[in-house]
Structure formats: structure tokens, C-alpha cells
Amino acid sequence: MSAHHHKEDFLFKYVFSTDHKMISKQFLVTGFLMGFLGLVMSTLFRLQLGWPGESFEVIDMFMGSWAEDGVMSPDKYLALVTMHGTIMVFFLLTAGLSGTFSNLLIPLQIGARDMASGFLNMLSYWFFFLSSVIMLISLFVEGGAASAGWTIYPPLSALPQAIPGSGAGMTLWLVAMAIFIVSSLLGSLNYIVTIFNLRTVGMTMTRMPLTIWAFLFTAIIGVLSFPVLLSCALLLIFDRSFGTSFYLSDIYIGGQVLEHSGGSPILFEHLFWFLGHPEVYIVLLPALGITSEIISTMTRKPIFGYRAMIGSMMAIGFLSFIVWGHHMFLTGMNPFLGSVFTFTTLLIAIPSAVKVFNYLTTLWKGNIRFTPATLFSIGLVSTFITGGVTGLVLGDSALDINVHDTYFVVGHFHIVMGLSAIFGMFAGVYHWFPKLFGRMMNNKLGNVHFWLTIICAYGVFFPMHFLGFAGVPRRYYTNSEFPMFDNMIDINEFISMFAILAFFAQLIFFFNFVYSAFRGPRAPQNPWKGNTLEWTAPVEHFHGNWYGEIPHVYRWPYDYSKVDANGDYVSGEDYIPQTVPLGDNEKDGGH
Amino acid sequence: MTIIVVVAIILLVITGSQLLKIAELRAKSKGELIYEVTEKEGKNLGLMLFAGFFVFMGFFAWQMWKWYGLRLPVSASVHGESIDFLSDLTYFIITPVFILTHAILLWFCYKYAYSSKRKAVFFSHSNKLELIWTTVPSIALTVLILIGLNTWNNTMAPVPEETEHVLLEVTSQQFTWTARYAGEDKKLGRSHVTLIEGVNATGIDKEDENSNDDKLVKGEFHLPVGVPVQFVFRSLDVIHSAYMPHFRAQMNCVPGLKTQFNFVPKITTKEMKKITDNEDFEYILLCNKICGAAHYNMQMNIIVESQEDYDKWLAEQKTFGE
Amino acid sequence: MSMENINYKEEVRRKTSKPLLWIGIVSIIMFFSGLTSAVVVSQGGGSFLKIDLPFAFTISTLIIIASSAAFHFGLISVKKGNLAIAKISVLVTLVLGLSFILTQFLGWVALYENEVYAVGSQSTQESSYLYLLTALHIAHLLGGLISLIVVLVKTIKERYSVDNMLGMQVSITYWHFLGGLWIYLFFFLRYIIA
Ligand code: HEM
Ligand SMILES: [Cu+2]
Ligand SMILES: [Cu+2]
């Protein structure tokens, strides 16, 4: 083999790979890198919030001219918050989470050699990569990064006169997001078609693991909502760069009346939240799917209410399209419309409650093995409850009047969406690490990581509700301008200390991750004694997943601890892989 | 400084790697798999999770004790009382749910931690159970939805024209507020951004005869206690949000659009100073929608006082015509 | 690469090409629904000025219908094994597709002459929407044209036959969709903006 050939091999194996497993790893690593930056940003602005106006050497080190004497300026604070939100929601928890696990698990768990189109899949990753690069470049342009919040409401986001970040920074933000949307659409297309068309023999829809169901609904939601965000962004691009007036009207700024007239910023909000709310579930559903799978495997019990779990995900997915108005109760919308949105929003609590109770029942009388993945799954159930119940407050238009855009909201969405999704992601990484890298992660470090993370997570986000009770608005650079918030300094300090600790806790994870990927103990083929198909594939990676024929499937994936009439395990062990044919008199599914 | 940090990090990583390697080798020599959770470890983790329940609830109680008192004082508006009632009712429902589900979750973790002596129970569905936990939340939600919608509709209904009320326009702009009273004729003059000029900073139409007796104020505005206030909100540049937390009132100010809110103030500033036991207490209007660099400092004081004091104060203010 | 692998790849292609296209079409539909509902919401104020829709747009509507028919005829010819006619039909489709773009362009020229501008201070929301929607349709049509060219080359090389015409079928589905999309936009523009 010539050196030249070798080089080409490398390029196509690691860079322009069309193998879903490699693409999955690419998504994971890129997502984590972006997430790490988002984390650094949050730690930096937490320093400002905890000790407003104090000078910090780290801030000086990281932010340079953005922070004179180690104190960040108000507009750069907003730039950081905006980038933090954008990166966390889209880059870490949409592309990073969904991209990693949909890619890894869909072909492996349904028994396919690869995605429907490896080429589109590769494009999906490279668009994501390009988008990440552009988003990062936007930090370094004149005027700084986009600063209008991750929701980029115009006119603020449309007018550089209103805030410096709405200049070149916002342009790049929009370009990056447009590319991101294309990436996400290409991914979703592939996921849906693969699931519908490439299942192995015997893998009926109702024998699919809940992970696959979750990825399917996520992809469907993505295909239906991301294009609308694209149209939303497109109109904003026109307003910003070509002087159209889709969103702008009657504006006087910087001593001048602008020529825009006839547009409406409310239109933007409608289009934005038509994606924005489903986006929450794009982030959350994969995490729920992952934990369903892990909890069942680790309790050595079938997931309780398989069909109800699917039904509730379907209901959540459907409802997520008709609740967007709950972000707009106070935009002057018709009160009747507000009532409708309150109604639909509170309805989502029902399928969510069903999911929680089903998780609890799955744990009941189980035989739980506490790996780090289990711990994070339990953590997810906890955060899903804690964050979910406060959703009832925010979804109620009457109550929203006084907590809208306060720290109560920040606490709520970080817990229910941020923490739940990131816990699901951690759980997934610990659990499928052997599939990803052929090695095992270290349990002890994993446990330490879990305990520190959950303590810090609640330490950071629980107290925020109390800030909300006191009426502290979000996206404030400091609360020191209001005497009524003087008492809050304690809470803010408390939160910031936990945020700093949380940052260091994640370093443990990154260390464990990198170390284990290269030097961890070699993984056996089926370390957790799981039923699903990915554990029948060899540990080593090659394009095609299985040597020889793709295994056939004969049963649903949750035959854990199945016993016969005498109370003995049917298979002699507490699990029966999906590839084992049904015995005589044995019924499939949860009967 | 930077060099020391870098060296320290490198050392830490190397030591960490070595420790992991050693642990692995030790496990290997004992014939164990390092990634397998032993029964004892599992039990310990289950116990820690269960203990976590008490720690978590203790943390919750500690915060309530320490920070709940910092919440906003009693509602200073009439509709705010029904919002507070609904809020209390909601917490009354969700707090037990929050505590109970956590108790169950973490108790199960302890109770059912792995034991080689036990078999997990193959229990995969039960229509009855699933029905129960679909219906129970539905009933609770129905109650919340019904009361919620009622409160919402009452709050949002505008003040009827014929009711005696104060008509007040609040205009937002980076990063100040301007309030405009309708004046004697109880009508606000027309306004538009194209009319902004010199001192006429919010673009009021001089030609409109309703404008002349309008009164513009900045810095603070006054309200008579017990009289409904009909607010109209405008914005000159970007979206702002007029948030008056003590009155449980908030509405976005959107350029190109007029939005509304109304409430009846029922506690004067003086009384509130007593209630909160704080001599410096002031009602406040603050901006609650990201609007630019100084978003964090966009405020106006509100003073609620008796009708006489209010009339006296208003009489001192200049009309637009002057 | 083993024989089995090639077969598998072929099977995957056969099973997934059309579904991939269909889901792609769904997302394009959502994209245009987003935009057209934006028009409806914007119009909610009732202040929409009416614009005279140039006659060129009517012609282009006829052209795109004709092109769909021609393409369909080509497909039938391939099915019947009549490749010579298929070649001509696909060529005609391509020519009609290009003339569609040309007539759209003429439509814009007519609009411009009538002082209806896309952007800038003299543009209105409705005029901007008008240009934007038509331009975005053309942007999607470009993809269709590229696939049409590929299909044309393959027809000329006689690559298609009764049991090997997946590429053509995919291309034609997309082409029909573009035609349908334009007809929707045409009536939408006619009754909402014009
Ligand atoms: C240790 C981790 C984190 C900390 C300390 C943190 C802290 C914060 C704080 C304090 C804010 C509000 C700033 C303000 O309103 O002025 C914020 C905003 C936000 N965070 Fe985080 N966060 C963390 C992780 C996450 C994660 C995992 C997500 C993923 C969902 C996330 C998503 C967001 C979003 C969407 C915003 C809103 C940005 C905006 O207002 O435009 N954060 N974060
Ligand atoms: Cu939402
Ligand atoms: Cu403001």
C-alpha cells in the first residue's frame, strides 16, 4: 500500500467518513467542544452576576479587550449570554445529542448497515461543523457577537444602532443558523427514512426500542419546525441587509426615524416560537428515549408501559406544535388566544406525568445496577419532575404575568430542558461508550462526576426560583441598580459558587472521556447484558456493522427477567436478546 | 501565572492517568473487572441516593427559610390578589407532587439496589395503573385551567369606558420611560414617531386638540389609590416590557403597536412602607425585555397615594400645551 | 467490496430514494407554509396594498404545467421502451423549465416597470413578499433543473429501462412538486397580494 493511498484512507475514514459510527463520534466531539465553550461562558458571566463589578483575572484572560480591567461591559455580558444560550440549545443539545445518538443507535438498533444515505449524513455533519466555525468566528468581529438573546427578537437584533452585537455578529449568527438548519434537516431526513425503511427482518415498529421511537419523533418534529425557523431567519436577513420591513415599523432610534414601516415584530415571535417550542422537545425527547432504555436495562426489568411511553411521546410531539403562544402571553395578543394556549400548554403536563410515573414503576421491584449511566438517568427523572412542576406555573397565562422573563423562567428551563437533556446525554455517553470507542469509562470517576454535577446543578438552578419570586428579571447585567434587589446578592453569590464548582466537575468528565477513549480497559461485546441489537455487533468498527448476515429479530427489546411458570428465567439468564427466537407458548411483548 | 497553571494542569492529568492505570491493574490482578459495579458498591449508591432525598428536601427547606421571605410583598393591586391565590393553589398542588415523587424515586433506588439473591419482577404494563395516572393529573389540571382562565380573562378585560379611571400612556425607549396622563378631556392626543422633534421626544401630535392638556412626566408617576388605571404602552425603538412586579402587572411595549393593561392599585406607597417595614420602599416600573446594553437599568418610580395628594401632584405638572 | 454488499447498497437505494425525497418535500412545504402564513399574519392589519400581477406569471404557470406533462410523457415512453421519444420529451421539459425561469424574470421586469420594488425604501411589505416568494421558488427549481440535466444525460446515454428508472421517477416527483408549489403560490399571490 502506497503512502498516498494510506493518506486517502485516513481522510475517508476519519474526516469525510460516511460511516454512521464515525459521524456519530464527530458529532459527539464537536458538540462537546462547543458545549465546553458554552460552559466557560456561563462560568464567566456567573462571576459578574455573583460579584458585580469586581475585577477578575480570568475574565481579563479570556475576554481581553471585552473586559476592561477584568470587568466585562454590559453589552459584552449580553453577548456572552446570547452565545451561551445559542450554543447550549442548538450546538450541544440539538446537534450534539441528537446527532450523536441518532447516528450511533438508529442503524445499530434496528439492524441496518448504515443510514439511508451515508453521503447526506456526512454532509449533515460538515454543515454542522461549518456552522460551528462561523458561530465561533462571530465572537471576533467588530461590535462583538450577537447580543439580543438566543431568541434574537427584532428590532433589537435588526438594528446595529440598538446594540453593537446586532452588526456583523448578528449577520454571522444568522448565517451560521441557516447552515445549522440545513444540517439538522439533512440529519432528520436520514433518520426518518432509515427507521421506516431499513429495519431488519422481524424488527416491526412495535419491537423497536424506545430510543428509536424517541429519535423518530425528534426527527419528525425537526423536519416540521426547522424550515419555519429558516423562513423566519430569512425575513430577518432581508430586513437587516436589504431594507425590507417584514418585522420593522415606526422606529425612532439614534435621533432618526427609520424608513421601515408596516412590519411587525410580533410576526417574528410567532415564526420563531413555532420552532422554538418544538425545539425544547427536540432537545428533550432523545434524552428521554436514552434514559428509558438505560433504566430498563439497568433495573433488569421491562420498561413499564411501552405503548404508553410511545403514546405519550407522540402526544408531546403533537402538542408541542400548538403551544408556542405561551411565550407570547404578554405581547398584547388577544386574551382569548392566550386562553387557548394556556389550555394546550397545561395539557402537555399529562403525557409528561405519565412518563414520570412509568419510570417510577419501572424501578419498582427492579434489581438496579448503579452504573454512572443509571445515576444520570435517575438524575434526569429528578430534574424532569422538578422542572416539570414549575411548568404548570409558567404555562398558566395568569401566573405568567408576574414571572415572565424573570429568573424563575431561567431556573425552570435550565432544570427541565438543560439539565434533563444534558443528564440524558451524559447517561448515553457512559452507557454506549463501549459501542463508541470499544473501551470502558471509569466508574469511580463517573460516580464522582455524577454527584458533583447533580449537587451543583440544583445548587445553581434551584435558588433561581427565589430570585424569580422577588421579581428579578433575566438578562440583567447586574441587579445593583435597584435597591429592591439588594438582598439578592447572597443568592447570586451562592449560585455563582456552585456554578464554578460545576465547571470543575465537568473537567473530571472530560478527563475520564479522553483517557478512556484511548487507554480505558477494552470493552466486551455486551457489557451491560442488554437485549438490543447493537450489542450483537462486534466491538471493532467497520463499515457495515455486522460480519455476515444482519441478525433477525424475534421479540421486543425488553425481555429482562422474564420467568416461566416455575419462576425460573426463561433463558436461564435475566435477559433475552432480541435475536433469540420465541420459545413454544412464549408470547412476544409485555404479556 | 499562566505557566504555573498550565504546568499544574499537566501534572494533574498525568497523575490522574497513572492512578487510573494502577486501579485497573489492581482490579485485574484480583480477577475483577474494574467497570463492574459490585453488590456492595451498588447498595452504597442506593443508600446515598436515598440519603440524597433528605439532603435535597433539607436544602429545599433551608432555602424556603432563608429566601422565601425575600419574595415580593402582598399584591398592591386588586387583580393581583386573585393571581396570588392561584399561585398559592398551584404551589399547594405541585409541592407535594414534587416531594412525593422524589421520595418514591429515591426510596426505590435504595430498596431495589442490585442483589444477586433477588429477581426483578417482569411487570410490563397495567391498564388500571396507567389509567389512574392519566386521570388524576387531568382532574388536577382541569381545576387549575378553569381557575387560571377565569383569572386571566378578568385581568385582561379593559376598563369600561364609562367607569371613572385614569388613562395613562407609558412610552418606552432605550433606556427610559415616559408617562403621559390624558388630562382634563380624558383623551390622549395622537402620537407617532415621525413627529418626534426637539423637546417633543415621544412624538405627540401638536395639531390634535386632545394633545394640549396631556401631561408628560419622567422619573416617577403617581396613581390614586382605589381608582382603575388603564395603561396604554408604546415603544419608540425596540421591544421593552413594562413590569410592575408589586402590582402583578406586566405588558410588552412593541414598536408600531399599542398594547394595554389595567389594574386597580389598592395599597398606597406609605402603607406599603409600613407593611414591608422598609422606609425606603418604592413601587417600581422596570424593563423586563432585553433591549440593549443598559437594559439592566431602565426604571421609573411609581407612587400610589390618596386621591387628594394625587390631584395636588397632577395639578403641579405642566401640560403638553405649555 | 463483496457482491452481497453491492446488492445491499442497491437495495438501500431502491428502498430509500423516494422516501428521502418525500420527507425533503415535507420540509420544503413547511418552509413555504411558514412564509405564506407570514404573509397572512402581516396582512392581518388590513393595510395591504394590492399589486397588479403581471401577465407573464400566468404564462409561466401554463409553461410549468406543460413541462410537467412533457416529463410525464417521457416517463411513459421509457416504460414503453420508446427511448427516442423519451429523449425528446426530457429535452422539451428542460427547455420549458428554462423558459419558466425566463418568464418569471419577465414578470419581475414588468413589476419593476410598474415601480413595484423588491427592497429599498420604496418597497412595501407586499412587494417584498412577492419577489421573495417567487425567487425562493426559483431557488428550489434550480435543484430540479440540475436533476433534470442529469436525467437528460442518462436518457441520452440510454441508461433507463422499464426496470431501471428510479432516478427518473425521483426527479419527476420533485418536478411535479415544484409545479404544484408554483400553482399554489400563483393563486396565493393572486388572491392575497394581488
Ligand atoms: C453550569 C451550567 C450553566 C450555567 C451556570 C448557566 C447559567 C445561565 C444563566 C445564569 C443564564 C441567564 C443569564 C441572564 O438571563 O442574564 C443562562 C441563560 C441561558 N442558558 Fe444557561 N447555564 C448553564 C447551562 C446551560 C445548559 C445546559 C443549557 C441548555 C439548555 C443552557 C441554556 C441557556 C439558555 C437558552 C439561556 C438563555 C439565554 C438568553 O437569555 O438568551 N444553559 N444560563
Ligand atoms: Cu414553549
Ligand atoms: Cu428596555
- Among B133, B193, B251, whose Cβ lies nearest the Cβ of A332? B251
Contact B134 A350 (CB under 8 A): yes
pLDDT means per 10 residues, chain A with 591 residues, are 54 83 96 96 93 86 78 91 96 95 96 92 96 95 92 94 93 96 96 95 94 97 95 94 89 88 90 92 95 95 93 94 93 91 92 94 94 96 96 93 95 96 97 95 94 96 96 94 92 96 95 93 92 94 89 93 86 90 82 58
User: Which of the residues in chain C have pLDDT under 50?
Assistant: 1-3
Name the residue with cell 476592561. A68
Q: What is the pLDDT of residue A477?
A: 94
List all residues 6 or more positions away from B236 whose beta carbon is below 8 Å from its beta carbon.
A251, A252, A253, B171, B172, B173, B193, B196, B202, B203, B255
First to last CA, chain B: 65
What span, in angstroms and rounded, lies between the C-alpha atoms of A372 and B204? 65
Q: Ligand 1: does its nearest atom lie under 6 Å from the Cβ of A25? A: no
Which-ligand-closest: CA of B176? 3
Q: What is the pLDDT of residue C4?
A: 61
Domains in chain B, please, with CATH? 28-116 (no CATH), 166-316 (2.60.40.420)
Q: Ligand 1: does its nearest atom lie under 6 Å from the Cβ of A424? A: no
What span, in angstroms and rounded, lies between the C-alpha atoms of A236 and A284? 28
A93: left (phi over 0), alpha (psi -120 to 50) or beta: alpha
Q: Which residues of B touch A590 (CB under 8 A)?
A: 124-125
Q: In chain C, which residue's Cα lies nearest the Cα of A274?
A: C34
Q: What angle do CA A64, A67, A73 make, to 5 degrees?
A: 150
Taking CA atoms only, the protein residue closest to ligand 1 atom 35 is: A85
* Range with lowest mean pLDDT among A4-8, B28-32, B287-291: A4-8
Q: What is the pLDDT of residue A292?
A: 96
Taking CA atoms only, the protein residue closest to ligand 1 atom 13 is: A475
Q: Ligand 1: does its nearest atom lie under 6 Å from the Cβ of A84? A: yes
**Amino acid letter at B187?**
K
Q: What is the pLDDT of residue B48?
A: 96
Residue A82 CA, ligand 1 centroid: distance in Å: 9
What span, in angstroms and rounded, lies between the C-alpha atoms of B296 and B315? 32
Taking CA atoms only, the protein residue closest to ligand 1 atom 9 is: A42
Q: CA nearest C10: which of A492, C1, A575? A: C1
Q: pLDDT tens across A447-472, in order? A: 999 999 999 999 999 999 999 999 99
Contact between residue C71 and residue C89 where contact means Cβ atoms under 8 Å apart: yes
Query: Chain B: nearest CA to A486, how far in angstroms?
Result: 10
Q: Alpha-carbon torsion A313, A316, A318, A320, what sign?
A: negative
Residue A466 CA, ligand 2 centroid: distance in Å: 21
C-alpha cell at A70: 477584568
Residue A414 CA, ligand 1 centroid: distance in Å: 7
Which helix (H) or strand (E) covers residue B249, if one does? strand B249-253
Name the residue with cell 437594559. B295
Whole-number mean pLDDT of chain B?
A: 91
Pocket residue to mutate for ligand 1, from A39, A48, A84, A420, most atoms within 8 A of Cβ: A84
Give ipTM to 2 decimals: 0.94
Q: pTM here?
A: 0.94
State the CATH class of domain C3-193: mainly alpha
A163 phi and psi, to 5 degrees? -160, 135
Going edge to edge, which strands form the sheet with B220-224?
B220-224, B299-305, B283-287, B240-244, B249-253
Contact B292 A335 (CB under 8 A): no
Q: Alpha-carbon torsion B80, B83, B87, B92, what sign?
A: positive
Contact B130 A305 (CB under 8 A): yes
Domain ranges of chain C: 3-193
Q: What is the pLDDT of residue C1?
A: 42
Residue B289 CA, ligand 3 centroid: distance in Å: 6
Q: What is the pLDDT of residue A590?
A: 65
C23 phi and psi, to 5 degrees? -65, -35
Q: What is the pLDDT of residue B25?
A: 84
Q: What is the pLDDT of residue A3?
A: 45
Other CB atoms within a 10 A radius of the CB of residue B134 amount to: 17
Asked if B163 reaches chain A (Cβ–Cβ under 8 Å), the answer is no
What span, in angstroms and rounded, lies between the C-alpha atoms of A472 and A52? 15
Domains in chain A, please, with CATH? 14-536 (1.20.210.10)
